[in-house]
Amino acid sequence: VTNVVRKKNVNNAVIAGHCIAGHVTQIRHKGQVIADAADVRAGRHIVQGNKHPGGHFINDFGYFRLKPHVKVQYNVVRLDRVHPVHQPASAATRAIHRRAVSAPFGAPLRVHQGMIGRIACKEGNTTGLTCGPIDRVNEKTQDVSGLIPSLPGDSGSPLYLLGRDGKRHLIGQLAGGTLYAYKSYDGYVHNLARIK
């Protein structure tokens, strides 16, 4: 889950669309049902485009209604572990990893060409916190590609940049890509308007 958005007094979990495409009967977290089939149907999912890096566009977005008993901690996306395979290589990247774990969240950002070359981080269910450089940005579709390690099970992971204000700013969510290294992210800000 990338985020939780509250609309009309209902909490909706934001996720990659392909994660809830098809027949979903339950979504669980730590053994607890957080959504059933009716909750998934109350949301929406879109899976279109080329999820492989360098593709023309990605549209891999979804959301589902959370059960009323689910407690939401806003602005908390935190994994205290870094997968051992993904230990940062350079001193600069190690510093970003340290800041990324504890920095508060700021407002989501629209992507732009000035982000190319910057280090972005994602927090995934499988691989934990991994960071790498952004190498492509499509301002029109708000898609981002970069060398940010992930594995199956990380889909929907939030992608963010550390801003000059010391905060993490969401810019996308993991959609797909080649196995392990080169990944594509669907833009974030434009998708939030789709939640009704």
- Tell me whether residue 79 is in a domain: no
Domain extent, residue 22, equals 3-65
DSSP 104: P
Q: Give the pLDDT score at 62.
A: 83
pTM comes to 0.68
Residue 179, pLDDT score = 55
* CATH code of the domain containing 102: 2.40.10.10
Residue 49's pLDDT is: 66
Dmax (CA) of the chain: 48
The whole-number pLDDT of residue 117 equals 93
The pLDDT score that the predictor gives to residue 96 is 55
What is the distance between the alpha carbons of residues 148 and 128, in angstroms, rounded to a whole number?
12
C-alpha span between 58 and 185 (Å, rounded): 8
Residues 6 or more apart in contact with residue 99 via CB below 8 angstroms: 162, 166
Parts of the chain with a pLDDT under 50: 75-92
Residue 74 in any domain: the answer is no
Residue 75 counted as domain residue: no
pLDDT at 29: 78
pLDDT tens digits for 85-121? 444 444 445 555 555 566 788 888 988 999 999 999 8
> Residue 83 burial (CB < 10 Å; 0-12/13-18/19+)?
middle
